[in-house]
Amino acid sequence: MKIIVSLFLIVFSLFILKAQCPTGTLTINSQSQIDQFIIDYPNCQEINASIRILNAPSVTNLNGFQNLTSINGLLEIYNCSNLTDITGLSNLERINDDFRLDSTGVTMIENNFPKLMHIAGKLHIDNENLIKIDDFKNLVNCNLVEIIGNINLNQLMGFDNLDNSTVRIESNNIEFIDAFQNVSKMQRLNISNNTDIFLNISPLYNLLEISSSLSLNMRSHSLDWLPNLTSINFGLSINIFELNDISGLSNLNCINGLIYITNSNLNSLTGLQNINSESITSINLLNNSNLSSCSLPNICSFISQGGFTTLINNEQGCNSVEEILESCSMSIDSHELNSKINIYPNPVKNDLNISLKDNSLKVNKISLYDLSGKLVNEFENQSKLNLSFYPSGNYVIVLDTDKGFISKKITIAK
């Protein structure tokens, strides 16, 4: 009988504890409401409600919520210009919806959320007064982290244990990032910083995979902060001012999407040489005024197999498919290979002859491109190609051999 009574008292106590939290949506627009919360609900820890603190200039602190450990709903703090103290949320462990901190007077978010591990929705931080973030170090689960429009933010730290989240860092003035240090996988990473600000990023030694895309638009000298990144699964976009090289991506072997690069300093694609050409869907090199070296073996393979390529306003050597293929041919010791093959006549009107001087050389495939890079036709290993059906003009013929690619410019003249 005593056991039954004890169990009843425990269950009843738990019921009373939960009953001491409000339900539904709690909308707050004054400091007095926050102060009253801990008086009305002194034992409230797990609240089955959303909390919205909106348009509340009188709010200066959140101390009335100091006992909360879990919010089973949204936490939104918006347009509270005099709110500078958010330590009242320091016991939070879980938010089962979005957490939005927008347009407040907070200047630093530093060790305010030492216990927070789970945000079911997104974390959105947008505060023009914010200078520094060094927090969320135990946050593991969060679908989306958005740090956007913090025009005075110059230091970003923390977030070291995020697991497979999308991270958007956009429209800030950050000078230094030392965050995400233990993160091995992200869904997506998008950094778009004020390009007038030089951005330093501490190496993300543990980041191995980005499940979606990597997009970078900022000012920086290198990508050495991504030394162990091996896989991107939806493309790579680089628009980085003053970027001198991309050798920091040397361990990248798969992108499953496009390569897009625009930069005025870059002169070589060295750093992309280990990407499997079959994982590339298109190559887009635009306005790279110093980029003249593009003939990496995988790039040569992609182009020679008819991969979609856009080349605009680059330096000579990377400004047309013809230039790249010519460099590809040179990069595989074309002098030696050319001595073993003869392609004639050139110009050609009808039949183009391909003669091998070395029977040990095997030609796997022959491809014909126009000068825009479009694949016109592919031929099996043939000694004579009938080109009489094609319009007059300049073309590039590419031979895929067992010793590499050979490209040669030809002219069809009717």
The 10s digit of each residue's pLDDT in 100-121 is 999 999 999 999 999 999 999 9
DSSP 391: P
pLDDT at residue 307 tops 90 = no
Choose among 176, 198, 187, 296: nearest CA to 246.
296
What local confidence, expressed as pLDDT, does residue 330 receive?
Answer: 57
| pLDDT value for 15 | 45
Position 299 pLDDT exceeds 80: yes
Give the CA count within 13 Å in the CB-facing half-sphere of 194: 14
Q: Which residues on adjacent β-strands are paired with residue 343?
A: 354
The whole-chain average pLDDT of the chain stands at: 90
**Dihedral (Cα; 254, 259, 262, 264), 10-degree rounding:** 50
Phi, psi of 204 (to 5 degrees): -95, 75
Output the pLDDT for position 11.
44
CA distance 299 to 278: 10
236-241/280-286 β-pairing: unpaired
Rounded Cα distance between 369 and 348, Å, is 15
Please tell me the predicted confidence (pLDDT) of residue 400. 80
CB 83 within 8 A of CB 107: no
What are the pLDDT digits (tens) for 138-167?
A: 999 999 999 999 999 999 999 999 999 999
Question: Which of 328, 399, 322 lies closest to 367, judged by CA?
Answer: 399
Residue 408 has a pLDDT of: 80
Q: Which residue has the higher pLDDT, 58 or 194?
A: 58
Give me the pLDDT at residue 8, please: 47
| Cβ–Cβ < 8 Å for 252, 246 | no
Instruction: Please say whether the beta carbons of 99 and 123 come within 8 A.
Output: yes
Give me the pLDDT at residue 5, please.
41
- Answer with the residue of higher pLDDT: 262 or 3: 262
Pairing of strands 341-344, 351-356: antiparallel
CATH number belonging to the domain at 332-412, selected among 3.40.50.11540, 3.40.640.10, 3.20.20.70, 2.60.40.3080: 2.60.40.3080
What percentage of the chain reaches a pLDDT higher than 70? Answer: 92
Question: Which H or E run contains 31?
Answer: helix 31-40
pLDDT tens across 312-370, in order? 999 999 998 888 887 876 554 455 666 778 899 999 999 999 988 887 888 888 888 87
Q: What are the structure tokens assigned to 178, written together?
A: 């030392």
Please say if the pLDDT value at position 4 is more than 90.
no
Instruction: Reply yes or no on whether the pLDDT at 171 is more than 90.
Output: yes
pLDDT tier at 305 (50, 70, 90 boundaries)?
Answer: confident
Strand order in the sheet with 176-179: 108-110, 132-135, 155-158, 176-179, 200-201
DSSP designation for 89: G
Question: DSSP for 213-262?
Answer: -EEEEEE-S--TT-TT--EESS-EEEEEET----GGGTT--B-SEEEEE-
Contact 339, 332 (CB under 8 A): no
Average pLDDT over residues 11-30: 72
Q: Which pLDDT score is estimated for 80?
A: 98
Q: Which of 101, 108, 55, 96 is nearest to 76 (CA)?
A: 101
For residue 48, the Cα-to-chain-centroid distance in whole angstroms is: 35
Is omega for the bond preceding 297 within 30 degrees of 0, making it cis? no
Tell me if the pTM is above 0.85. Answer: no
